[in-house]
Amino acid sequence: MSVTVSIPTPLRPFTSGQDSIELAGDTVGQVIDGLLAAHTGLKRHLLQDDGRLRNFVSLYLNETDIRHLASTATPVRPGDVLTIVPSIAGGSPATADGKASLSHAEMLRYSRHLLLPEVGVSGQRKLKAARVLTVGAGGLGSPLSLYLAAAGVGTIGIVDFDVVDLTNLQRQIVHGTSTLGRSKLDSAEERLTDLNPNVRIERHETRLTSQNALEILGEYDIVVDGTDNFPTRYLVNDACVLLAKPNVYGSIFRFEGQASLFYAAQGPCYRCLYSEPPPPGLVPSCAEGGVLGVLPGIIGSIQALETIKWIIGAGSSLVGRLILFDALKLRFRELELRKDPACPICGTNPSIHELIDYEAFCGIGAEPAYDGPEITVEELRQEMRAKAGDLVLIDVREPHEWDIVHIEGARLIPLNQLPERLAELDGHAEIVTHCHHGARSMKALEILKGAGFGKVRSLAGGIDAWAERVEPGLARY
C-alpha cells in the first residue's frame, strides 16, 4: 500500500491530467520527492529556487496542514491522503502612498496639475511612482521625455546609443548646440534633470535587441516607442505583448504622423494593424525623405499625453484608435482599430511565443545588393582634371537637393527620371553617378548597366564626401 497524493486542477497539466497519484515513502518529504521525480514539470511551480516549498503551496496530510505537524519530516502511513492545496494571493503594485509623497517644493512645482481634479494629489503621486521607458532620444523622444520629466514622472528610462549631430537639432529639442558630439543619453539627462531634478533618468546606452529587450522593458510600467525603423518597432511591439505592457506608439514621415496605444490585454497591437513590414527600401527613413521639425513635436506630445493619462487613469485612451495627422492640411483623422483574431502574437492562436530576428523579419540584409564599381572622391577629382570633357558626372538627387549644393559640371537627372532619360546619355562616354551619400547612385548604376552602359561607376560617399574631402567650401546637409 502507498500514499495517495491529490493533485489540484491547476497542476494537472503537469501530471498528464491525473487528479491523484499513488506514491511510496516514509515521510511527506520523500513522497513529494517521488512526485517531483515522476513529474518534473511540477518542480518550478511547487518549489522555490532554494528547494523549499513555495509559500503559496500548502500540504494537508488527511485533514491537517503539515505545518501543524512536523512539516516535510511528518511520517506517512499507507492509506494516507496527501493533498496539495493552493492558497491564492496577489495584489496591486506597491502603493504610491508614503513612497511617493510630495514635498512642498513639488506641490508648488506641480500646482497647475494639482488644481485639476482629474490629476490632483493622488494623480501626481502616481506620476511620481511611475516608471516609463522611452525607446529613442530623437525626434519623438525629445518632446516626449521633456513633457514626461516636466510632468513629474518619477523614473524615465531612455534607450539610445547615438551621439548628437548637427542635423538632429532641427527637431530634437532635448539636445542643444552645446551638447553636439556628446552621447544623446548624456545630453538628454543633462537637460531633463535641469528641467526637473526630481526625475530619475535610467540610462540604457545600447541598441535594443531580441536579447536584451525583455529584460530592459520588463523593468517599466509603460513603454513609449520613439523609434524610426521597422525592426525596432516590431521588436518593441512583440516584447510589450509578451510582457503584457502598454506600448504608446508614434511615427512620423515628412508631413504626416500617426499615434496609437497598443495594449494587447484590451485591444489591438501593432501587428494587428500592420501584420508585416513594407519591403525594405519602399518607405524611406526621415534621414532619406526628410521630416518637418515640428511634426515629431506634435506626435511626441500626443505620446506624452497618452502616457500621462494612462498613469493617472484619466479620460479615454487611444487603445483601439489610430490617429492620423496631416501637417500640411492641418487635419487629424481617427481610424478605429480592431484586434485581429489571427494576429500572430496577440490573436487567439498565437504562433509567436518569443522574440524573433527582426532584421531578418523586415528583410534587412536581404535587399538586392547594388554593388558595382565605385570611385573615390579623390580619384574623381583627378579624372575630372585629366579627362575633362570625356567624363560625364550625373547627379541623381532631387532638384531641391541640387538647390542646396551641387558639384560644378555635374548634370541633374533625378533617379526616378533616369529610366526615361537614358537617350540623353552617350553610350560610349565614361559615366560617374553621384547622390547624397552613395546609395541612390548605386541604384542608378544598376539601371545604367541594365540598359547596356558599360563604363559606369558610382561616387563613394556621394556629394557629402566630396564636400568633406575635396571641396570644403561646399555646404553639407
Instruction: Spot the catalytic one: 240, 269, 343, 435.
Output: 435
Q: How far apart are CB 380 and other proteins at their closest, in Å?
A: 56
DSSP 24: -
Does position 215 bind other proteins by CB under 8 A? no
Count of positions on this chain that bind other proteins (CB under 8 A): 44
Does position 431 bind other proteins by CB under 8 A? no
- Report the SS3 class of residue 57: strand
Nearer residue to other proteins within complex by CB, 191 or 245:
245
Considering only the stretches 56-64, 272-280, 283-291, 448-456, report the one whose residues sit in contact with other proteins under the rule CB under 8 A.
56-64
Single out the residue of 37, 116, 265, 439 in contact with other proteins (rule: CB under 8 A).
265
Does position 264 bind other proteins by CB under 8 A? yes
Q: Which helix (H) or strand (E) holds 235?
A: helix 230-243
Does position 52 bind other proteins by CB under 8 A? no
435 given a catalytic annotation: yes
Structure-block grid coordinates of residue 420: 526615361
DSSP 14: G
Does position 89 bind other proteins by CB under 8 A? yes
Q: Give yes or no for a contact between 248 and 303, defined as CB atoms under 8 angstroms apart.
A: yes
286 given a catalytic annotation: yes
Instruction: Spot the catalytic one: 286, 343, 346, 362.
Output: 286
Structure-block grid coordinates of residue 351: 504562433
Does position 310 bind other proteins by CB under 8 A? yes
- Return the bridge partners of 200, or none: 155
CA atoms 182, 299, 148, 131: torsion sign: negative
- Return the bridge partners of 394, or none: 411, 433
Q: How far apart are CB 359 and other proteins at their closest, in Å?
A: 24
Does position 15 bind other proteins by CB under 8 A? no
Nearer residue to other proteins within complex by CB, 147 or 263:
263
Single out the residue of 279, 284, 293, 313 in contact with other proteins (rule: CB under 8 A).
313
Does position 242 bind other proteins by CB under 8 A? yes
Does position 472 bind other proteins by CB under 8 A? no
CA distance 50 to 34: 18
Q: Give yes or no for a contact between 270 and 291, defined as CB atoms under 8 angstroms apart.
A: no
CA distance 185 to 138: 10
Other Cβ atoms less than 10 A from the Cβ of 375: the count is 18
Helices 120-129 and 294-312: angle between axes, nearest 10 degrees: 110
Single out the residue of 70, 94, 105, 342 in contact with other proteins (rule: CB under 8 A).
94
Site for other proteins in 106-135 (CB under 8 A): 122, 126
The DSSP annotation for 244-312 comes to: T--EEEEEEEBTEEEEEEE-TTTS--HHHH-SSPPPTTTS--HHHH-B-THHHHHHHHHHHHHHHHHHH
Considering only the stretches 10-18, 143-151, 330-338, 414-422, report the one whose residues sit in contact with other proteins under the rule CB under 8 A.
10-18
Binding site for other proteins (CB under 8 A): 8-14, 41, 44-45, 55-56, 58, 60, 65, 83, 85-96, 122, 126, 218, 221, 242-246, 264-266, 310, 313, 346, 348
Catalytic residues: 286, 435
